[in-house]
Structure 1
Amino acid sequence: MLVLSRRAGESVVLGDDIVVTILEVRGDVVRVGIEAPRSVKVHRAELLAQLEETNRQAASPSEDVVANLARALDHPAQDD
């Protein structure tokens, strides 16, 4: 990991077309501006982690669903 010190108004350039600028520093909060092409996805890390957890929960069936499916497989519906 590259670690840099920057002051408000200073920037870091990533590749040819991404510019990260420190806009403001107030106590322990830093406002950062990011200029990047629309094709570059920029997300906050905590939101990605939350999205991954939500997707994982959605992909895992609840115990009720599994139990109902097991009962249905043990006792298939009778055709008349």
Structure 2
Amino acid sequence: MLVLSRKVGESIIIGDNIQVKVLKVEGGAVKIGIIAPANVRIYREEIYKTIAQSNKMATNAAFQLDNVLKLKEVIGGDKDR
């Protein structure tokens, strides 16, 4: 992990086209601004984790549904019992 110190008004550059600027430090919070191309997705960590978990659950549900449909084919298709 790279650790940098910046003062209000100072920035760091990530790659060629992302700038992170310290806007304000107040109490225990730091307000930052991010300038990045529109195609770069930027999330707060807790939101990113929620999205990742939802995607994982959706993928798992789709996988389970696919397995159920395959099992249905193997045991007799659409026969009513």
Q: Shorter-normalised TM-score: what interval?
A: 0.5 to 0.7
Match of 2:80 in 1: 78
Alignment root-mean-square deviation, CA = 2.6
Q: Where does structure 1 lack aligned partners over 5 or more consecutive residues? A: none
**More helix, by proportion:** 2
- TM-score for both structures, normalised by structure 1: 0.68
Q: Which consecutive residues of structure 2, in runs of 5 or more, have no partner in the other structure?
A: none
TM-score computed with the length of structure 2 as normaliser? 0.67
- CA shift in 2, pair 1:59/1:40, >3 Å: closer
Structure number, greater radius of gyration = 1
Aligned-partner Cα distance in 1 for 2:42–2:31: 15
Counterpart of 2:27, as a letter, is: G
Cα deviations across residues 40-67 of structure 1 (Å, max 9, x unaligned)?
2211121110112222333445xxxx9x
